Every structure is written in structure tokens, then in C-alpha cells.
A = this chain, B = another copy of it.
């Protein structure tokens, strides 16, 4: 076993070790197939069975109702920022609503604005995106094409802890950085999308869960690759899918089902791990200052500052020396960010917690 660091990268991010080990064992030849998953035709039976298994496991883990389709696409959340408005705006009575809780939501708005007008129904910029709106602070515009939220903002570290009820207006959610971290009430959503490289697999595969009735909005004039309807009609095989990515999503979902025991248990572990780090922020007399307001803290990305940039540099260098890697905050906000996605083991969280306590004691 080669030595592995504790990888706190915000994404691509740590994957479950048993998943990596299985992928490694099978990399020259899938059992009974005689060729690598990297080499097999996407139209042959071995890949078909991987694709169906991945869909079926996601459906089971998330409780996806039958009238939703699960798609595996490419292009990451960035392409979804365009696909969502290009598919869902046409034919609607009113423009879409966007709830802006951080940097990724702002990027989504930039792309949607190219497609048509939209309403920003809440914007956290006045408090530097350190909080979420209360349910009373935003209401979808009646007959809006959809309302878009970002369930977890990786850069600011703020996260919705529930599934908002938006009534008849389809709720569209960028769940890139927290899909599969807790059970969802999928029926609250019109469309969920998530690039895989935080909780669900490697970079290069994007999961889309879409309510079937919304597929009718995709116009025939759309660029083919950008049409949800074409992908759904062809069961994600309109073109060659990112087959290795789909295989990895299937392995991660199996790990969630069989090793973790489902999303309730995953959620409990995520809460405990995040709380054990937030406790340090709250109990070092202000040495660490969390960015997010306590009631909106992300279970995935713990963001905080130290008393000075010099101390932050020292913190990062010492952490790296102890095998605690990729803790630097995003360049747009600075400071420290500990990303503790589903696959982060307790050993990593405990090592970081111990280091943080020790560092504070030595430098307070």
C-alpha cells in the first residue's frame, strides 16, 4: 500500500479507499469480460450493466421517484449553468429566479443571463455570502420558469440543510458539492445536477436527475449535446458517455450502500465530522474565525480565517508537513478551507482537529 496523505481538496477530492482498490484490481480486465472498463464499447452488455447498476443504486440511495430520469453527462456544473436555462426557459410564462448564496451561484447567473432575462430573488453579497436566506426571505415568482439554488457553496462554506418547498415552480439545484451527503426529498426538485468530483466520483462525469415532464421543454433547435431530452431518450447513450466515470459512480454508490449503510448513516457521520471541526473554531477564543454563520455552516467545506495572513501561511505549511494537504482557501476569499466530503476518513478529521488545537495553543 503506497503512503496516502489526508486530502482536504475541494474537488477533485478524496475517494473511498475500497473504491480505489476495486478499480485498481479490475483495471486491466473487468471480471468475466477480459478487457478494461476503459476499453469496452458503451453499447455492449458489460457497460450496459454498469450503467443500469449506477442508475439503480442512485435511485435507491436518493429515493428517486419513477417519474424522474437519471442521466450521466459531461462538461461539469459549468455546462449545466448553460443547459438549465437553454432547456428550461423556452415556453415559460416568466423568467427564472436565482437565489445567490455564493460564488457558484453567481457563475450560474452569468451563463443564464446569456440565454434570457432572470430575477435574482435573494443575494447574499451584502454580508459576503456568509449566510442563507430564511424561507420567508425568498418566494419564487409565480409561473417562473424555475428557481435555481446552490445547495452547498464550496468557496464560502454555506449549505442548505433541507429541501426548499417551491410549490409549482420547479426547483433546480446545483448539488455538485453535496449530492449523496444526506437523504433528499427528490420530489421537491424539478432538476438536480452535480459534477461528480466531490462526493460521487472522479472529474468528467455529471449526474443529472430530472423530472420527466420538464424534458418536453427542450427545443429541437438546441445543440444536440445540450438537450436533456436527447440524452434522456437515449438513456445517456446519445453519444459515448464518460464510461469510466459512470463505473466509478457505481462503485461509490455501492460503497455508500454496503460499506456505509445508506445516506442516513452518511449524514450522521458528516454531521459529526463537521461538528468536531466547528467545535475547534468555537472554542479557541476567536483565534479561528469561521466564515459562515453558525446556522448555515456547510458539512462539506469548513472555511475559516486566522488572525493574520502570515499565520495562515504558517498553518498551511505546517499542515502540509503533517500530511494534511490542500487546506488553502479559494483564492477569491483566502484563509483556510477544509473540505471533508463523504470519503474523508475519521483519521483525517481527527488529525486535522488535533493539529488545529495544537496550532492555536502555540500561536494564540
Binding site for B on A (CB under 8 A): 1-5, 7, 9-15, 17, 20-21, 23-24, 27-29, 33-36, 38-42, 44, 74-79, 81-82, 86, 110-111, 114, 195, 197, 202-205, 221-226, 238-245, 248, 323, 325-326
Contacts and interface: CB of A to CB of B under 8 A. Distances in A.
B41 A114 contact: no
A45 to B, nearest CB: 11
B28 A24 contact: yes
A96 to B, nearest CB: 16
Given A20-B28, A76-B239, A82-B224, 17 more contacts: A1-B28, A2-B28, A2-B34, A5-B34, A7-B35, A20-B27, A76-B225, A77-B239, A78-B239, A82-B225, A114-B221, A114-B224, A195-B240, A204-B204, A204-B244, A204-B245, A242-B242
B224 A110 contact: yes
Contacts of A240: 11-12, 76, 195, 197, 203
Nearest to A205: B204
A143 B76 CA distance: 36
Nearest to A114: B221
Contacts of A204: 74, 204-205, 241-245
Contacts of A17: 28
28 contacts: A3-B34, A9-B35, A9-B39, A12-B38, A12-B39, A12-B40, A14-B35, A14-B39, A15-B38, A17-B28, A20-B27, A20-B38, A23-B27, A24-B28, A38-B248, A41-B326, A42-B203, A44-B326, A74-B74, A74-B76, A81-B224, A86-B223, A110-B224, A111-B224, A114-B222, A203-B242, A204-B204, A242-B242
B34 A13 contact: no
Number of copies: 2
A86 B224 CA distance: 12
B223 A40 contact: no
Nearest to A10: B41
Nearest to A198: B240
Contact of A24 (B3, B7, B15, B24): B24
Contacts of A13: 39
A21 to B, nearest CB: 7
Given A75-B225, A325-B34, A203 B243 contact: yes
B9 A36 contact: no
Given A34-B323, A224-B82, A224-B110, A12 B41 contact: yes
A12 B78 contact: no
Contact of A7 (B39, B238, B242): B39
A114 B218 CA distance: 14
Contacts of A74: 74-76, 79, 204, 242
